[in-house]
Amino acid sequence: MINYKDFCLTINTAFTQYGIQKDPLNRVPPVTLDSTVLARRKTLDFSESEMATLQEILNEYKKAV
């Protein structure tokens, strides 16, 4: 079973602050490299061949965009 309300609150913390609508002058801090370390950590464990494959995919993506 999933508590959907708690799930949404957790996901939304990546983008904004809870209750911001009650304080319109409040500023949400920008996303920084330090705040995204946990999300990027997996990429640090790539082997050289995995990293090369990833780079090829990203290059193809860049061409398509």
Prediction pTM value: 0.35
22 exposure class (CB count in 10 Å sphere: 0-12, 13-18, 19+) = exposed
The SS3 call for residue 30 is coil
> Which tokens in the block code for residue 17?
């602050």
> Which tokens in the block code for residue 27?
């500023």
Note down the domain range covering 15. 4-64
pLDDT value of residue 44: 61
Number of domains in the chain: 1
pLDDT one-digit tens code per residue, 7-65: 888 887 777 777 778 888 888 777 777 777 666 665 567 789 988 999 999 999 999 99
Alpha helices in the chain, H assignment, sequence order:
4-12, 37-40, 48-64
